[in-house]
Chains A and B, each alone.
Chain A
């Protein structure tokens, strides 16, 4: 009879993250940013970060790495290869165009796809 599987101290997970608040009007975006950094530091994978509702403003307000008040999403994309997708229709609804480096526009299908591929779905703000 085979022995029991050893208890794994850290279960590595795939996360899908949704950010629903503007970085200047709420702390939720920064909470999400810090959560992602902690998750990556623990060895977890972030499948995609999807910016929805007021969260799309993260794609149009440049990050401030010095102050750290506004998350430097582009650094997260550049250094960790995290995919940053903002909802195109939510951005258009708010009259936003020309996003910051590191972000790509997409539809809600990309969010659902991330949920289906991830083992954990976490929503920040909204």
Chain B
């Protein structure tokens, strides 16, 4: 089902934003996790499931209270689960 978009840079979220299908999901990794912070609510034009890797938030000292509610925090096991649920993936460096 759908495409899993791996976003590992701060520019990546903007690059995949308007290229998401209805069954897609986004996971923020590495420097991409910075884009999980910011105003509350869902990022505009991103009506898909949004995830952020907990480990990479912690490494950067970003508290979960600073993460937009639209994002679900997951661990590596959850990340693997997302790649199982989505038949394809694309990496936006």
Contact = CB atoms under 8 A, between A and B. Distances in A.
A and B touch in the complex (CB under 8 A): yes
Category for how many chain A residues contact B: 20 to 34
Contacts, number: 54
A40 to B, nearest CB: 9
A44 B89 contact: no
B76 A38 contact: yes
Interface string B40-64: 0000000000000001100000000
A41 interface: yes
A37 B80 CA distance: 10
Contacts of A123: 6, 89, 91
Contact of A27 (B30, B77, B83, B87): B30
A34 B83 contact: no
Given A31-B8, A42-B77, A125-B8, A11 B84 contact: yes
Interface of B: 6, 8, 29-30, 55-56, 75-77, 79-81, 83-84, 87-89, 91, 93
